[in-house]
Amino acid sequence: MLSEQFLQRLDSMRLSLHTPAQGGSGGLRRSRALGTSTEFSDFREYVPGDDLRRVDWNACARFDRLFLKLFMEEQETRVNILLDSSASMAFGEPQKWDFARDLARIFAYLALRGGERVTLWTLGGEVKHTQALSGRAGYVQAAQFLENSAPAGHLMLSDCAARLPLGAGRGVSILITDLMSEDGYEKALRALAYRKQEISVLQVLSPWETAPSLEGMVQLTDMENGDVLEIAAGEETLRRYQQALEAFLHDAKRFCHAHNMAYMMLRSDMDVEKTVLRELSRAGLIE
């Protein structure tokens, strides 16, 4: 869980999104085709940092709370946070799953704080999701959903991504995964792009996966399908593993950049409240 002090730090930050807002009401971002700034649309409750000049004092007098006037060009973006919850995410020390959930919490908080509409998805043996969330209250629901989720089952990422009911129109999809899917990741990302999603891929690996320590005869078990592989681990085996890993990471990064998708690789032992924010900012995902 993210500390309250850390959430207060996030109040000064926001997601760096490029997709035009598409509809609904209550957002803080401008839509290019939904009217002029003088066309009234809705109210939303004031949050610290909002422009006090936008407060509707008549509504404040009636309800004893601060409300802001919103206009038709100020609409929310639909943000989908897609969290790999397959069994492989339970691997590592610290677990990839715990780290990935904290990433999902950060993105959910920033998106909701920015007035976006957010849906969280867990993609594992069973696909689960929240309703479309909004506002500060939405973060409580998001945090509860993530707290009650656990990694399990087998994920076919490409098949899953093609079937997700993301809704019509443009949106933002933030995929948090180890990218270790039997059917690969390319078709999944193409499917999301075809559905007009602005895509960010955050690949999470454990320290052991980036630099394994093995010696002698070793039995490796696939956490998702139970397959067992026996290998003689030595210097040459580890060298070949490292080459294969570097090629895998290079290909993932190259594929994402070639298709105008953001990409980052993060290790599960990174300090979420210190190092991760700096890295997300450097990558241009938050500002």
Model confidence band, residue 58 (pLDDT cutoffs 50, 70, 90): confident
Mean pLDDT of 180-202: 93
281, containing H or E segment? helix 277-282
Total domains, the chain: 2
Residues 66 and 135 in one domain: no
Structure confidence at residue 223 (pLDDT): 64
pLDDT, averaged across the chain: 84
User: Model confidence over 138-171: pLDDT tens digits?
Assistant: 999 999 999 999 999 988 998 888 889 887 788 9
**Coil, helix or strand for 108?**
helix
**Coil, helix or strand for 221?**
strand
Nearest-CA neighbor of 163 among 195, 131, 185? 195
Residues 89 and 49 in one domain: no
Q: Is 158 among the domain residues?
A: yes
Distance CA 117, CA 98 (A): 24
Q: Is the CB of residue 13 less than 8 Å from the CB of residue 286?
A: yes
The domain containing residue 187 runs over which residues? 78-282
User: Which of 1-10, 23-32, 82-91, 234-243 bottoms out in mean pLDDT, i.e. has the lowest?
Assistant: 23-32
Mean pLDDT of 70-89: 80
Question: What is the DSSP-derived secondary structure letter of residue 15?
Answer: B
Mean pLDDT of 238-254: 94
Preceding amide of 94 cis, omega within 30: yes
Q: 232 or 250, which is more confident?
A: 250
Which two tokens mark 171?
């949106």
Model confidence band, residue 44 (pLDDT cutoffs 50, 70, 90): low
Tell me the CA distances in angstroms from 238 to 127, 151, 173, 214, 230, one per residue in order.
Answer: 35, 28, 35, 8, 14
Q: 59 or 276, which is more confident?
A: 276
Model confidence band, residue 204 (pLDDT cutoffs 50, 70, 90): very high
Residues 121 and 57 in one domain: no
User: Model confidence over 224-235: pLDDT tens digits?
Assistant: 666 766 777 778
CATH of the domain at 192: 3.40.50.410
Which two tokens mark 253?
């990064």
Structure confidence at residue 172 (pLDDT): 95
Structure confidence at residue 61 (pLDDT): 79
Q: Is 46 among the domain residues?
A: yes
Residues 119 and 250 in one domain: yes
Residues 51 and 96 in one domain: no
Q: Is 20 among the domain residues?
A: no
Q: Is 17 among the domain residues?
A: no
Residues 98 and 231 in one domain: yes
User: Which of 29-33, 172-176, 257-261 bottoms out in mean pLDDT, i.e. has the lowest?
Assistant: 29-33
Question: What is the DSSP-derived secondary structure letter of residue 273?
Answer: I
Residues 57 and 93 in one domain: no
Q: Is 27 among the domain residues?
A: no
Amino acid at the residue 78? R
Through-space distance between the first and last CA atoms of the chain, rounded to whole angstroms: 22
Q: Is the CB of residue 114 less than 8 Å from the CB of residue 93?
A: no
Residues 123 and 65 in one domain: no
70, containing H or E segment? strand 67-71
Nearest-CA neighbor of 124 among 146, 154, 103? 154
Count Cβ atoms within 10 A of the Cβ of residue 267 and give its class: 0-12 exposed, 13-18 middle, 19 or more buried.
buried
Helices 235-258, 186-194: axis angle to 10 degrees equals: 10
Residues 60 and 107 in one domain: no
